[in-house]
Amino acid sequence: MTMEAHGWLNEPTRTALVFEHCSRGSLQDVLIMDEIKLDWSFRLSLLTDLVRGMRYLHASPLRVHGSLSSRNCVVDARWVLKITDYGMLSFYEAQGIAPTPRSAKELLWTAPEALRDSKTYPKAGTQPADVYAFGIIMQEVVVRGEPYCMLSLSPEEIIAKIKKPPPLIRPSVSKGAAPPEAINIMRQCWAENPEMRPDFAAICERFKQLNHGRKVNFVDTMFQMLEKYSNNLEELIRERTEQLDIERKKTEQLLNRMLPSSVAEKLKLGLAVEPEEFAEVTIYFSDIVGFTTIAAHCTPVQVVDLLNDLYTCFDATINAYNVYKVETIGDAYMVVSGLPVRTPDHAEQIATMALDLLSQSGHFKVRHLPGVPLQLRIGLHTGPCCAGVVGLTMPRYCLFGDTVNTASRMESTVYG
């Protein structure tokens, strides 16, 4: 189909024809959108629209398009392809306007005879040249890629080779990329000799064979396209939902590592986390004996590696106990049992865990100081405690009360 021209813009800086707006963009835009699944029937429908439009155009008084490409084939909201920019070269010639010079990339749809003999070649173009341009567009639709995309050549190199054969250069399309008859039509359209190229009336008849002789119903085609587009959207939404679910789980895992799961659930629901008092919990504190001396023999990165290796080992160990890791500050490691879930055996859990961590530290080897033994200083205390979330940015689950202070002092006053 061809688009209806609505007006002419005449300004000192630019002159333009105004055509109907097509919301899907150009055919080139549709082809590069990976979200749109284009099966052969979909592509054939678009090409059939193009063939019918060019057959009408060549039979009209205008006779020639002159600058056909996938950029001036546009697709409307109903997935009907329409042709625009037709007759622009004739318009420029009639108005005495010099057309804007085209880049090598914009010349990829131009027939060889137009490139080689630009002085005597008709400025408005020819019908065989339009057929050649259609052949290049067919290649774009069949392989869903730019003209000559399968060749490792720049547009400038391609144009130079087209201008000066041999060898003849054309897009390379495998026979299995489309039905054999479609491949044959495409190759005949870009024949070197313009007289060997079929006209659009003949191409239209051969496209009827591709459609198995049935007349294409625009309404049926439109609904088929809309159904496929809807299915594509559903598949895309499903994939995006799965990706979102994976990211949500990662976020929840991170949040549950930073806060107790019961507290994290309240925060996710937007509920306030009120401070809570616990009648009896057991708190564990530990640090590394002689850490300042060890750190003096390490670079800052080595200190980070040491603490990360040690506390990764500790984190894996405490998973076997009913405890909650509160925080690490420098070389200090703080754990509690009996909150946020109250348990009667909190003291036993912490004491057994402390012995386990003590054993782990005895077997721990510092990567850059393998001969230096690592000793822990540990303090424990049981008593009442208050716990709550402090802060909005990087919120922390903090413990308060004399039990915390006593456990800390027990640890700091230990003598090895």
Q: Is the pLDDT of residue 271 over 80?
A: no
In this structure, the strands spanning 332-337 and 396-400 are unpaired
Going 84 to 87 to 89 to 92, the CA torsion angle's sign is negative
Task: Quote the pTM value.
Answer: 0.54
Residue 290: which of 191, 406, 348, 375 has the closest Cα? 375
Quote the CA–CA distance of 351 and 322 in Å, as a whole number.
12
For residue range 139-173, list pLDDT tens digits in order.
999 999 999 999 999 999 999 999 998 889 999 99
The closest of 407, 316, 295 to 360, measured between CA atoms, is: 316
Task: Provide the 8-state DSSP code for 2.
Answer: B
Say what percent of the chain tops pLDDT 70: 91
- 221 confidence band (pLDDT: 50, 70, 90): low
Domain at 271-413, CATH class: alpha beta
Beta partners for residue 357, in sequence order: none
Return d(Cα 219, Cα 223) in angstroms, integer.
Answer: 6
* Contact by Cβ (8 Å): 141, 27: yes
Range 310-338 average pLDDT: 88
Closest CA to 328 of 275, 288, 274, 282: 288
- Same topology, domains 5-215 and 271-413? Answer is no
Task: With a cut of 80, say whether residue 302 has pLDDT above it.
Answer: yes
Q: Span 230-256, mean pLDDT? A: 81
Where are the chain's structural domains? 5-215, 218-258, 271-413
- Section 97-118 average pLDDT: 88
Dihedral, CA atoms, 385, 390, 396, 401, nearest 10 degrees?
-20
Distance between CA atoms of 408 and 159, rounded to whole angstroms?
80
> pLDDT class for 50, splitting at 50, 70, 90?
very high
What integer pLDDT is reported at residue 156 of this predicted model? 95
Q: Find out if CATH 1.10.510.10 is the number for domain 5-215.
A: yes
Token pair of 143 as six digits: 């392989």
Least confident of 66-70, 254-258, 292-296, 399-403: 254-258
Question: Which region among 13-27, 51-65, 213-227, 257-271 has the lowest average model confidence (pLDDT)?
Answer: 213-227
| Residue count of the chain | 416
172-181 pLDDT per residue, tens: 998 888 999 9
* DSSP string covering 54-98: HHHHHHSTT---SS--GGGEEE-TTS-EEE-STTHHHHHHHHTPP
How would residue 214 be classed by pLDDT, with cut points 50, 70 and 90? low
